[in-house]
């Protein structure tokens, strides 16, 4: 897949998540969060007002620290596709 096609597929997956109205499982959201941050090169630290949520987010980021932005986009797309295929 070309980088342009990957970006389009990634943006479509993000839009699919944003359009979904029902709640997602917490572990799914944490993986989405980590992959999205890696894919977009967002280096900001978690900023929830709840310290425990920040800890979970930081852990998710730590677990995904060794993947490239392209790998993160691919993982995000796959995660989204798998989630909606199971419904």
Domain that holds residue 62: 3-85
- Give residues with Cβ within 8 angstroms of 39, minimum separation 6: 10, 69, 72, 73, 76
% the chain with pLDDT above 90: 91
CATH code, domain carrying 76 = 1.20.80.10
**What pLDDT does 24 receive?**
96
Confidence of residue 39 (pLDDT cuts 50, 70, 90): very high
- Number of structural domains the chain divides into: 1
Average pLDDT, the chain: 95
Whether 87 shows a pLDDT value over 80: the answer reads no
Residue (of 21, 1, 3, 11) closest to 76 by Cα position = 11
The pTM is what?
A: 0.92
């Amino acid at each position: 897949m070309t980088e342009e096609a990957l970006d389009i597929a990634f943006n479509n997956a993000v839009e699919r998540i944003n359009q979904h109205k029902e709640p997602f499982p917490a572990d799914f959201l944490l993986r989405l969060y980590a992959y999205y941050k890696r894919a977009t090169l967002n280096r900001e630290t978690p900023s929830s007002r709840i310290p425990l949520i920040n800890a979970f987010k930081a852990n998710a980021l730590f677990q995904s620290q060794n993947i490239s932005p392209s790998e993160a986009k691919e993982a995000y797309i796959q995660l989204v596709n798998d989630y909606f295929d199971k419904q």
